[in-house]
Every structure is written in structure tokens, then in C-alpha cells.
């Protein structure tokens, strides 16, 4: 039979039973490692969600001679897009540069630009928030605007 480890106080006994003292809490190394891992993972997830902020994301841009179509698109860009995407599509503190590999034709085809203008875009590459629809861009202005963006990208090595 298992024996009871508790000591009982005997009445009239000359020896008093010692009062149990609390033992220090021991956290094993594997538990510490797990806790540190969880804290690091939560910090990383928080950073990915919140990001480093919306600092100025401008990039230097080479401005090439533009075709007639792209020149028309530049006028539309300067009227509507420059506030967020910056001068020459180089980005600003309000929006990302379009002269960036994220927006190369193989990653964001022309149809993605059309959709962004007509439907808006959720935030996904940058921490600027979602892009709203752009109803001021008329259907006739869409192709020249895309030509402008693509010519600017090619001049800056984004193909």
C-alpha cells in the first residue's frame, strides 16, 4: 500500500512537525525557450501586420522621353495619381512607388492596374492602406495611363 507522506501532529509529542516551506518555482529550459519563441513570433506577426510605418517610400526615377500615348497618360497621372504615388510615380509618404519590381508586368499585369482604378485594391505589398477606386479616371484615359507607367518602369529597369 502506498504510504501517506504527510506527517501528523502527535499530541503530547516532544518534537514538533516542521511547517512546510514553499519551494521556488522552477522553469525548465525548454519552457523558457518556448516562451521566448512565442514572444518573438508574436512580435514578428505584429510587425508584419502593422509594419514599420508609412515613412516616405520614394525612389529615384529616370524620366525617359515619352511616346505620345504615354505623354497623355502622364497628364492623367499628374492630375489624379501624383498625390499618392508621387512625382514620376516614384512614391511618396502617402503611397508606394509604381517604379518598383512589385509592379512589373509579370507580377501586376495591365489588367491589375485596370482593376485597381475601377475597383480599388486592398493593402498587400505596402503599409499605406487600401487604394480607393479612381472614378475620375475615364475609360479613355486608362490605356495612356498604363502606357506612361510601363514606359517609366522600362526606363528604370523594371520589365
- Structural domain span for residue 102: 68-155
Residue 48 covered by a domain: no
For residues 85 and 96, give the distance between their C-alpha atoms in angstroms, rounded to a whole number.
6
Residue 40 covered by a domain: no
Residue 62 covered by a domain: no
Give the helix ranges, DSSP H, for 1-138.
Answer: 29-50, 68-76, 82-85, 110-119
Residue 72 covered by a domain: yes
Q: What is the pLDDT at residue 24?
A: 80
Number of domains in the chain: 1
In the predicted structure, residue 104 carries a pLDDT above the cut 90 = yes
In the predicted structure, residue 47 carries a pLDDT above the cut 70 = no
Residue 110 covered by a domain: yes
In the predicted structure, residue 9 carries a pLDDT above the cut 60 = no
Give buried/exposed letters for 100-112 (b at 16+ CB in 10 A, else e). Answer: beebebeebeeee
149 vs 28, more confident: 149
What is the tens place of the pLDDT at every residue in 122-136? Answer: 988 888 899 999 999
Residue 21 covered by a domain: no
Residue 138 covered by a domain: yes
Question: In a 10 Å sphere around its CB, with 0-12 CB exposed, 13-18 middle and 19+ buried, how is residue 84 labelled?
Answer: middle
Q: How confident is the model at residue 11 (pLDDT cuts 50, 70, 90)?
A: low
In the predicted structure, residue 4 carries a pLDDT above the cut 90 = no
Q: What is the pLDDT at residue 103?
A: 95
**Looking at residue 109, which CATH number applies to its domain?**
1.10.760.10
Residue 85 covered by a domain: yes
Amino acid at each position: 500500500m502506498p504510504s501517506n507522506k504527510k506527517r501528523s501532529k502527535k499530541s503530547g509529542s516532544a518534537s514538533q512537525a516542521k511547517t512546510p516551506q514553499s519551494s521556488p518555482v522552477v522553469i525548465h529550459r525548454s519552457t523558457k525557450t518556448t516562451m521566448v519563441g512565442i514572444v518573438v513570433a508574436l512580435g514578428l506577426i505584429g510587425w508584419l501586420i502593422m509594419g514599420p510605418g508609412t515613412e516616405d517610400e520614394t525612389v529615384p526615377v529616370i524620366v525617359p522621353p515619352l511616346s505620345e500615348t504615354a505623354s497623355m497618360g502622364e497628364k492623367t497621372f499628374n492630375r489624379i495619381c501624383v498625390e499618392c504615388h508621387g512625382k514620376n510615380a516614384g512614391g511618396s509618404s502617402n503611397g508606394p512607388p509604381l517604379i518598383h519590381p512589385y509592379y512589373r508586368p509579370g507580377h501586376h499585369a495591365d489588367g491589375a492596374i485596370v482593376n485597381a482604378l475601377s475597383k480599388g485594391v486592398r493593402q498587400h505589398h505596402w503599409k499605406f492602406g487600401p487604394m480607393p477606386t479612381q472614378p475620375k479616371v475615364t475609360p479613355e484615359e486608362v490605356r495612356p495611363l498604363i502606357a506612361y507607367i510601363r514606359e517609366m518602369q522600362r526606363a528604370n529597369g523594371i520589365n
